[in-house]
Amino acid sequence: MSGKERWLAVLNRQKPDRIPMDYWGTKEAGEKLMKHLSLPDMNAVFKKLRIDKPFWVGGKEKGPKKLDGSDMWGFKFRKVDYGNGSYEEVANHPLADFKSIDELNNGYVFPTADLFDYSHIKAEVEAHPDRIVQGGGSEPMLTYKYLRGDEQAFIDFIENPEFMQYILDKIMAFSYENTRRVLEQAPGKIHIVYVAEDLGSQDDLLYNPVHIRQFLFPNMKKMMDLTHQNGSYVFTHTDGASRKIIPELIELGMDVLNPIQWNCKGMGIEGLKKDFGDKIIFHGAVDNQHCLPFGTVAEVREEVKRNIEVLGKNGGYILAPCHNLQVVGPSANVVALYEAGLEYGSN
């Protein structure tokens, strides 16, 4: 089977020749892995480890870059070094000082899908017939926090609800139209759409469920409906202890849940499989907080075996790390993840 055939078999509740395997990692972790395997690029890594990595398609931004170096939202980025890895982080919050919708309309221009060219997508999809294809998607609250700053974003739930809703709807308007244009370039051939909101922390939900239902779910539902209208699957990413809200995500239209951080409160894989295994596909779950960065090869192999036995029982599981692999971990553990996936996932 090809990677696409494996993914589609699992998504359709059919039995593949083996469990499909995905890869998530930082650029630095990837470079470390390439060096460890003496390979020139990540595509060679995917081939070597037999990883069924989705192929992403999207619009290409047209026109000249802004003179101040900011992106279409007005964000500027800076590299922050944490000792064991450096990351590009937002250095400014373009809407931090805005107080009203009128002020916003007079002082800020939201990006639109007209900024992008989509004409190349059909050819790209056709050039990768054996890959599962991902395109479009949304994560409005993340963009909102970048625009306003984390602290102000949390305050806005209480003090500026109409203002907040207006901005979130503007962000979703862009995401929706962008996704619609991506999907129309290759009807029925873009298999998964990323519909995300980080709803969980290590111990509980990040936001009051009332606020999640009021501000976030309606826009997520719009994107999920658009995805299903195209015959595609909704791939929902939500970090952390999000169990309380999983039943409602299923009602909205979630097909795949990622990343299954089982070390977070309430996210034990046995309970998730028991309660939701007949309703959704699980993606991820190989612990990236302790096992992959700090465990032994034997512990990684046992972790993979357990996830396949529990989450993969009677189907419904795509093996992957439970978020981006970090450079701090040994590459031997990453190799062990996928070697164990081939061994235990083929039974």
Whether 133 and 189 have beta carbons less than 8 Å apart is answered as yes
Q: Which of 260, 259, 329 minimizes the C-alpha distance to 300?
A: 329
* Mean of pLDDT values over 141-153: 98
Take residue 34 and report the two structure tokens written for it.
Answer: 């390439």
Using 50, 70 and 90 to split pLDDT, how confident is the model at 273? very high
Question: Cα torsion for 83, 84, 88, 89, to the nearest 10°?
Answer: -70
- Provide the pLDDT for residue 89: 92
Q: Which residues pair with 87 in a beta bridge?
A: 80
What is the pLDDT confidence band of residue 289, given thresholds at 50, 70 and 90?
Answer: very high
CATH of 3-344, one of 3.30.70.990, 1.20.1260.10, 3.90.245.10, 3.20.20.210: 3.20.20.210
Q: What span, in angstroms and rounded, lies between the C-alpha atoms of 319 and 336? A: 13
Angle between helices 331-344 and 42-49 (to 10 degrees): 40
Q: Given a cut of 80, is residue 190 above it in pLDDT?
A: yes
Reported as a pLDDT band with limits 50, 70 and 90, residue 341 is very high
Token output for 332: 């031997």
Q: Which residues of 40-51 are buried (b: 16+ CB within 10 A; e: fewer)?
A: eebeebbeebeb
- Alpha-carbon distance of 316 to 148, in angstroms, equals 38
pLDDT recorded at residue 28? 93
Kindly tell me if the per-residue pLDDT of 336 is higher than 90. yes
Q: What are the C-alpha distances in Å from 251 to residues 207, 217, 248?
A: 19, 11, 5
- State whether the Cα torsion 249-250-253-258 is positive or negative: positive
Sheet holding 192-195, edge to edge: 55-57, 133-138, 192-195, 233-237, 256-258, 281-286, 317-321
> pLDDT at position 102, please?
97
Share of the chain above pLDDT 70, in %: 100
pLDDT of res. 88: 87
Model confidence at 321, pLDDT cuts 50, 70, 90, reads: very high
Mean of pLDDT over the chain? 96
Q: Burial letters for 63-80: b for 16+ Cβ neighbours within 10 Å, e otherwise? A: eeeeeeeeebbbbeeeee
C-beta atoms surrounding 105 within 10 Å: 12
> In a 10 Å sphere around its CB, with 0-12 CB exposed, 13-18 middle and 19+ buried, how is residue 310 labelled?
buried
Q: What is the pLDDT of residue 86?
A: 80
Using the predicted structure, report yes or no on whether residue 279 has a pLDDT greater than 80. yes
pTM > 0.85: yes or no: yes
Residue 85, pLDDT score: 78
What ranges make up the beta strands (E) of the chain? 55-57, 60-61, 77-81, 86-90, 116-117, 133-138, 192-195, 233-237, 256-258, 281-286, 317-321
- Report pLDDT for 84: 78
In this prediction, residues 265-280 reach a mean pLDDT of 98
Residue 343 to residue 104: CA distance in whole angstroms: 56
pLDDT score recorded for residue 257: 98
Spans of all domains in the chain = 3-344
pLDDT of residue 270: 98
| Stretch 98-110: mean pLDDT | 96
- Per-residue pLDDT of 16-45, as tens digits, reads 999 999 999 999 999 999 999 999 999 999
State residue 241's pLDDT score.
97
Tokens of 208: 């009051």
Residues 68-95 have pLDDT tens digits of 889 999 999 998 988 777 888 999 999 9
